[in-house]
A and B are shown apart, each in its own frame.
Chain A
Amino acid sequence: MEPSDRDLMGRLAAGDREALGPLMERHHLRVYRIALSYLRDRDEAQDAVQETFVKAYQGAARWDGSAEVAPWLARIAVNHAIDRYRRGRRRLKAETPLDDEDHAQRIAVESPSPERRAMDREAGERITAALGGLPDRQRAVVVLRLYEDMNLDEIARALDMSLGTVKSSLHRALRRMRVTLAGLRP
């Protein structure tokens, strides 16, 4: 039987590094996509995954066992992404679209047609620009809600915000993106 997340966290807290393998295998894609949707840079996102799991290992002993592991990791990941983005604000290529490989992976599932591929590429570029235009916290709320499907309470805990602020942030972000994504059809 596969060990549960809780078992793995208990082993990490006891200093058992072997538990990192199964924990990462289970959660690394999700953590990567959180970081990528926020940072919009594959290498930066990959580094963020590394740091997230290093922090998880180092903080395992302080993990509150009443919380689920996935939102806890999401919290570490998004806060690390925010910090990373702030520190390298001018350096990050927030306006640079994802490369063809990422698009191809997506398109391979949905549609092989060149027209659709071009449309998806344009959508990726516009979304990157639209997310890049949001303030840090609004962007984080959008990522956790619309990319990670976290509920508003979980987002409030992850970002250390009040529930009301999370709601306002999501509302404002969507309104702003209605303008920046205008003319692009879903």
Chain B
Amino acid sequence: MTLFHGRWSRRVSLLAAGALVGGERAAALAHVETCAACRAELAAARDVVALLERDPVHAARPPLPFGALLARVQARVTEAEEARRPGAARWAKVAFPLAAAAAILLLVFRSPSSPPRVPAPSAAPRATVSEEALRRLERSAARENAVRYLSEAQDVLVTVAAAPLACDRKRARVDVEEEARRSRELLSRRALLVETDRQEMAGARPVLEDVSDMLREVAALDPCSRPEELEAIQRQMSRRRLLMKIDLMTRELQG
């Protein structure tokens, strides 16, 4: 019975998951009728499937409203395109935060009953905007960009701190290729994202400098590094309490 049952075991799971159709499904059902062990297995597998159907995820919705989510995607697309365009960095430094902030502002003030259309991020707002309002937008965009920089840097540093996967077990090396690449990329985007010369960013400057120092260390790592090199970075992070500082600064920037 064992060998015979083993052959059907996979099909019983697939049957429970609704993944069999046509003749395969009919054959599996016919077999289950004649096999008590398979019936028990089918019932157990169906219980699992039924539990997963009760998972609250099936009805979950994103924390952000749709309009804000769309505005973020539009802003990310703009950012990515500007980053690829040679010589566009200076323009993007000003235009991207303004465009993103303008898109979000327009969404905030849009009537709830209006259709879910969002203006192109590159389009200038038509309404007259006072100098003060523009300055507020710039400040808000600057903070948002700094938060994004800190968040992405934290992703990299947390992975480094959590000991990445081994890339060469015999030589006891660890794989940090992706972390090093992302650190280099972040450092190259830093000038675009973080405007440390702005007055409202003064409080964030020490943390941003610490983060950049650490990213430089990670960027300089060999793709297949010795664990001691990572431990040295982990010690520095721990000594500077960097991850905690990033969390606190992120919250402060988010108001």
Contact = CB atoms under 8 A, between A and B. Distances in A.
A153 to B, nearest CB: 10
Tell me the interface secondary structure of chain A in the complex. helix
A36 B58 CA distance: 9
B89 interface: no
A186 to B, nearest CB: 3
Nearest to B51: A186
B55 A37 contact: yes
Contact of A21 (B17, B56, B117): B117
Interface residues of B, number: 50
Please classify the interface of chain B as helix (H, G, I), strand (E, B), loop, or mixed, using the class held by over half of its residues: helix
B14 interface: yes
B72 interface: yes
Contacts of B155: 87-88, 91
Contact of B60 (A17, A33, A120): A33
Contacts of A89: 159, 162
Nearest to A42: B63
B62 A28 contact: yes
A40 B48 CA distance: 18
A98 B248 CA distance: 24
B56 A106 contact: yes
B76 A50 contact: yes
Contacts of B54: 106, 120, 123, 186
A106 B73 CA distance: 27
Contact of A43 (B21, B63, B121): B63
Contact of A88 (B57, B63, B159): B159
Contacts of A53: 73
A55 to B, nearest CB: 10
B116 interface: yes
A45 B61 CA distance: 10
B229 interface: no
Nearest to A46: B62
Given A21-B118, A124-B56, A167-B14, A145 B19 contact: yes
Contacts of B16: 174
A185 to B, nearest CB: 7
Contacts of A107: 56
Given A24-B70, A145-B17, A186-B51, A54 B80 contact: yes
A42 B55 contact: no
B49 A146 contact: yes
B178 interface: yes
B224 interface: no
Contacts of A90: 158-159, 161-163
Interface string B21-64: 10000000000000000000000110111111111111111111
Interface of A: 17-18, 20-21, 24-25, 28-29, 32-33, 36-37, 42-43, 45-46, 49-51, 53-54, 57-58, 87-91, 98, 102-103, 105-107, 109, 120, 123-124, 126-127, 142, 145-147, 149, 151-152, 167-168, 170-171, 174-175, 177-178, 181, 184-186
Given A151-B19, A174-B17, A175-B45, 9 more contacts: A24-B70, A24-B73, A50-B73, A87-B155, A91-B155, A91-B158, A170-B14, A174-B48, A181-B47
Interface of B: 9-10, 13-14, 16-19, 21, 44-45, 47-64, 66, 69-70, 72-74, 76-77, 80, 116-118, 120-121, 155, 158-159, 161-163, 178
* 7 closest A-B pairs by CB: A90-B162, A186-B50, A171-B13, A106-B56, A106-B59, A171-B10, A91-B158
